[in-house]
Amino acid sequence: MFKKRVQLISLTILASVVLPFNVYAYPPDLFAVNELHFDSYRKACGLDCILAQRSVQDVAASIAAGMGMNPAYVKVGLKMAFPQSRIEGEDTYYEVNYPPGYRYCSASINIISIMSASADPGRGTMVAASAQPTLLSIYTWTGTPHAGEGQSSAEGWAKVTSIRREYYEEFKNKGVCSSKAETESREFMRCRGHDCREAHEGGNVVAGNAVPALKNPPDGF
């Protein structure tokens, strides 16, 4: 009887030691992040353009620092299609796809500069962004200048974070990822002129704060 009790206590202690490591053992590339420098006046600068100026390690380290976690958990979206712009008259469209095996987690837009050719508020430069089922969509409207008017342009940074599909619910419940349903389209920015500054969708809690284990590298790193 005493021997069985000792075995039971040993198993309980062993479980209490091992379980936390199993619960918090997250894989490398848990998150996939893509960035886009959009500029309605010039060609868009996607990751292939950005990486001509900065190394993959630098980009990953910068993104991971903002998320409060080890860079090994961040996959920089090198294999995602280059987000070409589509211009139709005064309208410009950008699309950034989520990679295969990942689901949308959060997005942010930061405006660097915005200029409206007209003083008419109804013709002010417009920026809109929405998280859609398979991609992040950004739209800008830059009015064609009339005689005597100046330049109309919109420039900014867009960042979209995706998460491995099997971890989405956990990180949604922790406040790291958006509650947006997978098939839902959610517009989170629509503004004109100097009212355009920044917007966020999801990512209310920093990943490293929600799960402190992410501050350390994954097993094997």
8 found inside a domain = no
Interatomic CA distance for residues 214 and 221, integer angstroms: 12
79 found inside a domain = yes
pLDDT in tens, 67-124: 888 888 887 764 444 456 788 888 999 988 898 999 999 999 999 999 887 777 778 8
144 found inside a domain = yes
Domain span at residue 116 reads 27-204
Q: In the chain, how many domains are there?
A: 1
75 found inside a domain = yes
Q: Is the pTM of this model over 0.85?
A: no
104 found inside a domain = yes
82-121 exposure pattern, b = at least 16 Cβ within 10 A, e = fewer: ebebeeeeeebebbbbbbeebbbbbbbbebeebbbbbeee
3-state SS, residue 176: coil
Interatomic CA distance for residues 47 and 98, integer angstroms: 14
3-state SS, residue 195: helix
Interatomic CA distance for residues 109 and 194, integer angstroms: 14
53 found inside a domain = yes
With a cut of 60, say whether residue 16 has pLDDT above it.
no
**In sequence order, what are the residues at sequence separation of 6 or more whose Cβ sits closer than 8 angstroms to the Cβ of residue 153?**
39, 40, 41, 113, 114, 115, 125, 142
218 found inside a domain = no
Cα 95 to chain centroid, rounded:
13
What is the structure's pLDDT at 14? 31
14 found inside a domain = no
Residue 163: both structure tokens together: 């998460």
Residue type, 153: S
pLDDT in tens, 162-179: 999 999 999 999 999 999
Burial class from Cβ neighbours inside 10 Å (0-12, 13-18, 19+) for residue 193 reads middle
